[in-house]
A and B are shown apart, each in its own frame.
Chain A
């Protein structure tokens, strides 16, 4: 993972609360088996609206998103983080984040910076008054600077350290593989295992009966 210490880029004011991950990336885009190439899917439904903030020239090249409270709620899809990163975002600022989104961001080098809602309002004001304003996010000092506005943000110490060092979580855990093995040796033997597989008596599964004389739903494939 790339190290993150400081980032400067155009700030994008997204005046919406409860931006769920279905809005960040709709499910039809989740069928890909790659980890990159999701930039076209970011906010796909909203980007059809010419007045949407990312459709305005001044914000198009944004890399610091300033959103309303409860950003990233809903589905656990890490594709939401990939889409934000692929578009070019390095930082999301909000007063509250959904837990899973926050966790996913930290794994992928996207900084989820938590600031007070009144500070979000201050940043929105700067970014809306002077579209295209660059925002500097300093992870070491935990500050966000936009023109004359300087606000502090919160990020937990561990995530901050990992981002600043650019560390791979799995590698860190595998340093303790002996402790994992020791734990496995003291686990109760009756705890379930998926293998060898145990089943109910086998049954033949035939498709549900065809529906005669009914329209078979709306088929629209993404």
Chain B
């Protein structure tokens, strides 16, 4: 029978079919663990005397709580330190591989899996973090879970899962210069809304998606959850195989050949039917920014803050009024006129080497706007080392930016990197919720290119605003290398 990519991966993992309305029991190939959502799960194992079923399919890293400065000193915040120490103790007790602060493979959990070659096509991947959807870029079925489910996977290596629906999101054509993967996904979320993907696994397709590097694809799949989706996926192809080959945990020799042969079958059959379809023209896209307090409240940078009176739907109108008030904006104000205090470049959405290269290319030889704080935070220690090997850190420091150690940093108000109340950021991260980057902080989600231009001009800007002397990079990867291999 014809199937979609998501259905094929699902079917390959059914341990037991659910009967009488019970969900299917699915096998989990890879379980990623971090300090925030795991302590209560390990405690649950201890209380029930259950062992960790598959330490060899489990890996832990420290990311949410970790500071990005002074990583060689004890963590100053005692509750953060306790949580990190709890993870280390649990890892030791249950035999889980852990990459701790100071280790070359420490970093944001969604960077660590791919860079080690553990994230592969056709796998089921879970983590107690909603941005686990990132790994769908490889053609894996990857989704975030709660702590009870973390415990379930630790104990059984399976999860009972309710069936999903499938949605095809086709992005035809080629991106214009200055538009990136981030602009594609922000435009998709604005189009279908933060609840538009509920119950669905999204499959991104079309020429614009095919043309993206693996890192661009990860940016897209990463934010599937912001559209409410269970997961987002992209069928594996030569770009995927090229990224994986030679990574520490990629198959080798005859195993590699067997794997690639299987991976090539992981595509939606031509006659398969999706439950819903959405089509976008890449050529129509331009740099996209959010103005409100959920990721669906976004517009092209050339637009203006909405006027609530013009919104027909009452719930949306009330939400817009509230968002505009929280954000300290004026209805009708051009988005380009909005000044920012902080530019944050990092996160599991846009903290990878290509993102850092894209920013460096725009800012090289310039100085940041005087009153703007610029934070550059690589997504993993390995990415930081690679950036330093390429001299990117020098470019950031000369620009006036702060060059930090790896972690989730200012994406969420959980570690020392936070906005002060009323402060406004242009952020390459994934969520602009009230207080997400610190209590009272105001967040505009942007691409790395918009972040770079905004850091130079001090107001939300695109690279095109920098004048004719600055070439506008096109949306395809700036440098196609697999440089992390050589880091």
What is A's interface to B at a CB cutoff of 8 Å?
15-18, 20, 22-23, 26-28, 30-35, 45, 68-70, 73-79, 81, 96-100, 103-104, 107-108, 156-158, 161, 169-170, 172-174, 176-177, 179-180, 183-184, 187-195, 197-200, 202-203, 205-209, 211, 214-222
Contact = CB atoms under 8 A, between A and B. Distances in A.
B175 to A, nearest CB: 27
Contact of A180 (B157, B199, B403): B157
A17 B59 contact: no
A18 B53 CA distance: 37
Contacts of B434: 22-23, 45
Interface string B295-325: 0000000000000000000011011001000
Given A174-B156, A207-B70, A26 B420 contact: no
7 contacts: A35-B40, A79-B147, A108-B148, A158-B162, A180-B156, A214-B400, A221-B416
Contacts of A172: 160
**Chain A's interface: helix, strand, loop or mixed, by majority?**
loop
B479 interface: no
B206 interface: no
Contact of B43 (A35, A69, A219): A35
A217 B416 contact: yes
A212 B340 CA distance: 23
Contact of A20 (B77, B294, B423): B294
A34 B82 CA distance: 11
Given A192-B30, A192-B120, A209-B397, A78 B146 contact: yes
Contact of A211 (B53, B160, B250, B402): B402
Interface stretch (B3-11, B97-105, B235-243, B348-356): B97-105
B56 A203 contact: no
Contacts of A30: 36, 64, 414
B402 A217 contact: yes
A172 B259 CA distance: 33
Nearest to B83: A31
Contacts of A97: 198
Nearest to B410: A217
Given A107-B149, A188-B258, A173 B397 contact: no
A98 to B, nearest CB: 6
Contacts of B395: none
A69 B195 contact: yes
A197 to B, nearest CB: 5
Contacts of B146: 76-78, 81, 100, 103-104, 107
A198 B225 CA distance: 31
A99 B37 CA distance: 17
Interface string B136-177: 000000001111110110011110101000000000000000
Contacts of A81: 146
Given A22-B435, A33-B40, A192-B249, A76 B129 contact: yes
A191 B404 CA distance: 35
B248 interface: yes
A178 to B, nearest CB: 10
B334 interface: no
Contacts of A189: 255
B455 interface: no
A192 B72 contact: no
B413 A28 contact: yes
Contact of A170 (B50, B65, B255, B418): B50
A140 to B, nearest CB: 16
B27 A99 contact: no
B476 interface: no
A37 to B, nearest CB: 11
A173 B152 contact: yes
- Counting chain B CB atoms within 10 Å of each CB, the highest count among A30, A177, A192 belongs to A192
Given A75-B130, A192-B117, A23 B433 contact: yes
